[in-house]
């Protein structure tokens, strides 16, 4: 199996050490992301503002209204992407699986593109009601609709099997892709630009009013998925074996499906598409602490948060005053990094 | 008592089981044998509650098996299947400790880890405990999976637990298929030992010498039907072996030796090679 690393290193040590290291790294990147940007805010100022000593300054407004929600968003969305990636790879019992398989990405894209292209003509009521939030709300609804459809289809034969889920996912993704294609075809230049950038993801321009509901949904999903760690371990033994060990396998699959759809739906709605984090993060953690989800889940959560926050920091500072779409950064950095880890692992295995 | 009563099962137009009844009591070691496709594994699946029956019923300690929740069932019976699909790099200890899942409410973590360690010792894989499961040989993997199943059964074999929830059962399908001679007999004797501690044990094997050596009772199946059942020396006669396996053979029953199957030289299966 690809990229699993069949070397069991001193896991106990790695497990004990990894979480504190990642946690402190997250804290550091959090402070760094608060301080670095178009307007530099020194760490001393950051501390002063956070402790409430500095009130009413420009820096305080920037920190509270722009940077703080953005950094919190990147931390939580990154955590969600990491955890959902791990959960999907377990449910499909395949390290190549990612949440896109259950329609989250295509559904959200369909919703978002529909609002972008048809929001001013067919769905004026929708756009008027949600105003600035029309695209995120559309993306979330699209995600729920497509995931719900795939869920119903895969349970059609009475059994909720992984293979029926996979087949339904592939078919529906193709159909949704065609719809998106049609919408792209009829879009004008500005709309085309909007939807292209949406599909590359960005954490910019999010206010508390939009960030908060998403964060709540993502946190609920993360907690829910983390609590399924032990059942997911059992599930990897094989469905029959897990059942024999006392696990309600169907209920587990359904729960993971729903929580992942909720989490990624809420994330994609506010950030657009961010590729590769959900795929690469669980792999890296698995190389270090092994497959046990009780360690893999928190590890993926923290590394996801770290990676996305670091990527966002790069995305918004590298070509100031403009921004690079974060999806570009995660893929451009994540890809090579993953390859290096992979080669190292194979080298170790060959020894 | 774990019993299959008048079970008939079909899948895709094939009859897997045809009106079969069999049962295992506490302390008993039952072995199911038969040629390929006889319905041995299906019978075991039916006993473990995995197979939907067209007619008939499975009772575990006098309760219909569907009435148990997955957890309750796991506390009362452990199953070793023929194949496993584990492709993720768990360590041997991690695999065996998964048996703890259904007992977490009743037992302390330390107790459960003890059961796991004992099971690892029993199947003689303690030197592999920290190794990655996917790197082991087929036979080693099989023994590790058996350790997991034994660790699941152990808590249910405590006298206080038997008094509360009745006899536990151990169902194993082809546990010896990739084992060397020593471990074939060793694994079978571990199953036998579980029966001696009060479990009801059902084993599916191909090797009739092994079957005859360890079974209290043998069930011989062919084409989904029960051909004959009873003690090994009564069941594995030359007539039955010819009828069921199309082989000329007999069972040696010398004192001081385990029963062994001896094949005559002019068997059809050998003579046809030309």
CB contact under 8 A, B89 and A6: yes
Chain A contacts in chain B segment 9-38 (CB below 8 A): none
- Region of B32 on the Ramachandran plot (φ > 0 left; ψ -120 to 50 alpha; else beta): beta
pTM: 0.87
Q: Å from B94 to nearest chain A CA?
A: 8
Query: Is the separation of the CB atoms in A317 and A263 below 8 Å?
Result: no
Q: Å from B105 to nearest chain A CA?
A: 13
pLDDT band at B273 (very low <50, low <70, confident <90, very high): low
- Which chain B residues have a beta carbon less than 8 Å from that of A234? 98, 101
Query: Is the separation of the CB atoms in B168 and B127 below 8 Å?
Result: no
Q: What is the pLDDT of residue B83?
A: 79
Q: Is B165 on the interface with A (CB under 8 A)?
A: no
By the 10 Å C-beta count (0-12 exposed, 13-18 middle, 19+ buried), A25 is classed as: middle
Q: At what angle do helices A11-35 and A43-50 cross, to 10 degrees?
A: 90
pLDDT band at A349 (very low <50, low <70, confident <90, very high): low
The span from the CA of A267 to the CA of A81, in Å, is 8
Task: Among B85, B89, B98, select the one facing A245 at the smallest CB separation.
Answer: B98
- Which chain A residues have a beta carbon less than 8 Å from that of B86? 236-238
> A16-20, A92-96, A106-110 — which is least confidently predicted?
A92-96
The span from the CA of A237 to the CA of A303, in Å, is 26
User: Model ipTM?
Assistant: 0.91
Evaluate the CA torsion angle A17, A19, A24, A25 in order and state its sign. Answer: positive
- What is the tens place of the pLDDT at every residue in B202-222? 999 999 999 999 999 999 999
Q: Is A95 on the interface with B (CB under 8 A)?
A: yes
Q: Å from A92 to nearest chain B CA?
A: 12
> A13-22, A56-65, B78-87 — which is least confidently predicted?
A56-65
Is B188 a residue whose pLDDT tops 50?
yes
Evaluate the CA torsion angle A322, A325, A326, A328 in order and state its sign. Answer: negative
Please count the other Cβ atoms lying within 10 Å of the Cβ belonging to residue A123.
17
Mean pLDDT on A135-156: 84
Percent with pLDDT over 70 in chain A: 92
Closest CA to A74 of A101, A37, A47: A37
């Amino acid at each position: 199996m690809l990229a699993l690393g069949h070397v069991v290193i001193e896991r106990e040590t790695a497990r004990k050490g990894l979480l504190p290291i990642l946690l402190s790294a997250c804290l550091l990147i959090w402070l760094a992301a608060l301080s670095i940007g178009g307007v530099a805010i020194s760490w001393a100022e950051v501390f002063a503002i956070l402790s409430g000593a500095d009130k009413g300054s420009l820096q305080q407004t920037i920190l509270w209204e722009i940077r703080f929600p953005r950094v919190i968003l990147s931390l939580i969305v990154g955590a969600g992407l990491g955890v959902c990636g791990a959960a999907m790879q377990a449910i499909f019992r395949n390290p190549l699986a990612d949440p896109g398989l259950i329609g989250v990405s295509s559904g959200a894209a369909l919703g978002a593109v529909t609002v972008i292209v048809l929001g001013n003509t067919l769905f004026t009521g929708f756009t008027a009601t949600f105003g600035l939030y029309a695209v995120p709300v559309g993306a979330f609804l699209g995600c729920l609709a497509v995931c719900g459809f795939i869920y119903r289809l895969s349970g059609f034969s009475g059994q909720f099997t992984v293979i029926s889920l996979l087949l339904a996912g592939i078919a529906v993704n193709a159909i949704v892709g065609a719809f998106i294609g049609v919408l792209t075809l009829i879009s004008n230049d500005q709309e085309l630009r909007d939807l292209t950038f949406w599909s590359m993801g960005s954490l910019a321009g999010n206010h508390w009013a939009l960030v908060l509901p998403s964060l709540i949904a993502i946190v609920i999903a993360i907690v829910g998925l983390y609590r399924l760690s032990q059942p997911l371990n059992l599930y990897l033994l094989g469905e029959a074996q897990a059942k024999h060990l006392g696990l309600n396998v169907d209920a587990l699959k359904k729960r993971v499906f729903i929580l992942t759809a909720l989490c990624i739906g809420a994330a994609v709605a506010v950030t657009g598409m961010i590729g590769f984090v959900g795929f690469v993060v669980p792999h890296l953690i698995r190389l270090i602490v092994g497959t046990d989800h009780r360690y893999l889940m928190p590890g993926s959560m923290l590394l996801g948060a770290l990676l996305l926050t670091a990527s966002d920091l790069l995305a918004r500072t590298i070509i100031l005053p403009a921004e690079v779409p974060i999806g570009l950064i995660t893929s451009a950095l994540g890809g090579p990094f993953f390859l290096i880890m992979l080669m190292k692992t194979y080298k170790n295995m060959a020894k | 008592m774990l019993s299959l009563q008048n079970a008939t099962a079909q899948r895709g137009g094939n009859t897997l089981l045809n009106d079969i009844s069999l049962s295992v009591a506490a302390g008993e070691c039952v072995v199911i044998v038969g040629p390929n496709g006889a319905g041995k594994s299906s019978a075991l699946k039916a006993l473990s509650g995995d197979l939907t029956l067209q007619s008939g019923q499975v009772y575990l300690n006098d309760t219909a098996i569907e009435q148990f929740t997955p957890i309750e069932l796991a506390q009362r019976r452990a199953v070793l299947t023929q194949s496993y699909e584990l492709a993720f790099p768990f360590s041997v200890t991690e695999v065996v400790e998964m048996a703890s899942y259904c007992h977490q409410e009743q037992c302390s973590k330390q107790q459960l880890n003890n059961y796991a360690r004992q099971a690892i010792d029993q199947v003689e894989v303690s030197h592999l405990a920290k190794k990655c499961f996917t790197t082991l040989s087929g036979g080693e993997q099989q023994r590790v999976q058996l350790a997991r199943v034994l660790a699941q059964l152990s808590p249910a074999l405590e006298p206080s637990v038997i008094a509360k929830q009745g006899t536990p059962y151990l169902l194993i399908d082809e546990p010896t298929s990739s084992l060397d001679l020593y471990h074939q007999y060793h694994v079978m004797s571990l199953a036998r030992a579980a029966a001696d501690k009060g479990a009801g044990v059902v084993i599916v094997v191909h090797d009739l010498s092994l079957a005859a050596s360890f079974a209290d009772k043998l069930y011989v199946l062919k084409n989904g039907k029960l051909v004959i059942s009873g003690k090994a020396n009564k069941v594995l006669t030359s007539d039955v072996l010819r009828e069921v396996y199309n082989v000329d053979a007999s069972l040696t029953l010398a004192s001081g030796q385990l029963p062994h199957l001896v094949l005559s030289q002019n068997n059809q299966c050998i003579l046809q090679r030309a």
